[in-house]
Amino acid sequence: KYTQSVQEGPLRDRIAVEGKHQLLSVDQFTRESVEDLFRVADMMQPIARRQKVSRVLEGAVLGNLFFEASTRTRVSFGSAFCRLGGSVCDTTGFTFSSMAKGESIYDTSRVMSGYVDAMVIRHPEQGSVAEFARATNIPVVNGGDGPGEHPSQALLDLYTILTEFSRLGKLLDGAHIAMVGDLKYGRTVHSLIKLMALYKNVKFSLISPKGLEMPAYIIEQASRNGNMIEQKSSLAEGLAGADVIYATRVQKERFANEENEGYTPDFQINRAIIDAYCSPETIVMHPLPRDSRPGANDLSVDLNHDPRLAIFRQTDNGIPIRMAIFAVLLGVEGLVQHSMRDVTWRHPSHVG
C-alpha cells in the first residue's frame, strides 16, 4: 500500500525539530518519512490486535497532560505506551494542575521532564505545545493545540485511508477527497489536508458553511504536487465522485461569538446523502467525537451499520499509529519485532 521506498537513517532524526525528537506538526514529514512511520505501525498491528505483547518500553513513564476534553487521544496514547511495556501518569484539566495557581508552561515542562520520559500535551492555545517542547529535551507530542494542529489524528487518518484504498485497489494519488463541516476551527482537517498534499494530483472539495472555511494559509500550503482545491458551500456541489468523505464536528467551543449561525442541516452526512451522491466504495470518515445531541446535525447514526463508515476502523488504528510514534521518538522501533511474545489471554471484542 506504500509507494515510496524505505529511506536510510533513523526516522526520528529525519523528522526531528531543531535536533529534538518531537511531534508537533505534520510539516515535519515527507511522503517517504510518513510511509516509513506507517511501516512501523504495520509492525505494531499484532500487539494492537492483542495477538502479541511487547515490553520494549519497560521502565519508561509517559506524562499525559490534557488541558482540554479528550477521550480518544488521551486514552489511546496511554494505552499505546502501556502496550509497549511503559507506564502512564495523567493530569486532566487546568483545575487539577498547578497551572490553576499561575504556573507557566516553561516551569511545568521543565518540572515534568524530571518525572517522565515523554509527554503528550493537549492545550487550548495554538502554539502552546511547541512552547512546552522548547522548554525540554524529552520527546513531546502535540495532542491538539487549540485550532492549530492534531498531527497524530492526521497520521491515523491517512493510515486509514491508505489501508482502505489498498483493500479497494485505489491510490491516493489522483483521488477525490471531500472535507465537510467546520474547516476553520477543526484542527484535524488542518493537519490532514497538509499531510495528504504530500501525494499527487489529489482533488480536494472543501465544503463548509459560510464563515467556517479552511484558513487561506493552509489552502496555499496544500496547493502543490498538482493538487486541486475547490471550495463549495453545499454538499450537492462537492460530494459527487468523492473517494473519501471526511466529516467534522462544528467546534462551537472555539467560537468567539454567534458566528455559527450560517451552519444549517444541509451539511449533515447521512444515509440519504450518501445514497444520493456516493458510490459503494466511498469511505466515510470523521475524527470523532460526533455530536449526537438533537439538532447538532453531525455525522448521522443511521450509517452505523454501513460498511462504508470507517470511523471505528479509524479509532482502532489510533493504537498502532501512536505505538509507532512512541517507538520512533524513543528510538526503539528496531527492537520491537524481537521483543514480541504471544499473549496468554484473549481479547473478547471485535479487535483481533
Q: Does 70 bind ligand CP (CB under 6 A)?
A: yes
Q: How many CA atoms, within 13 angstroms, populate the side-chain half-sphere of residue 310?
A: 28
Indicate which single residue of 288, 321, 329, 336 sits in contact with ligand CP (rule: CB under 6 A). 288
Minimum Å gap between C-beta 289 and ligand CP is 5
Minimum Å gap between C-beta 145 and ligand CP is 12
- Determine the interface stretch with ligand CP among 126-134, 198-206, 281-289, 339-347 (rule: CB under 6 A): 281-289
Indicate which single residue of 148, 238, 287, 320 sits in contact with ligand CP (rule: CB under 6 A). 287
Q: Does 72 bind ligand CP (CB under 6 A)?
A: yes
User: How many residues comprise the chain?
Assistant: 352
Q: Does 71 bind ligand CP (CB under 6 A)?
A: yes
Q: Does 289 bind ligand CP (CB under 6 A)?
A: yes
* Region class of 174: left (phi > 0), else alpha (psi between -120 and 50), else beta: left
For ligand CP, give the closer residue by CB, 77 or 277.
77
For ligand CP, give the closer residue by CB, 147 or 287.
287
Minimum Å gap between C-beta 249 and ligand CP is 9
Minimum Å gap between C-beta 16 and ligand CP is 24
Minimum Å gap between C-beta 337 and ligand CP is 29
- Determine the interface stretch with ligand CP among 24-32, 204-212, 273-281, 282-290 (rule: CB under 6 A): 282-290
Cell of 212: 467556517
For ligand CP, give the closer residue by CB, 70 or 109.
70
Count the residues of the shown chain that bind ligand CP, applying the rule CB under 6 A.
10
Distance CA 81, CA 327 (A): 9
Site for ligand CP in 121-160 (CB under 6 A): 144, 150, 153
For ligand CP, give the closer residue by CB, 46 or 147.
147
Note whether 351 and 64 are within 8 A (CB): no
Give the interface with ligand CP as residue ranges (CB under 6 A): 70-73, 144, 150, 153, 287-289
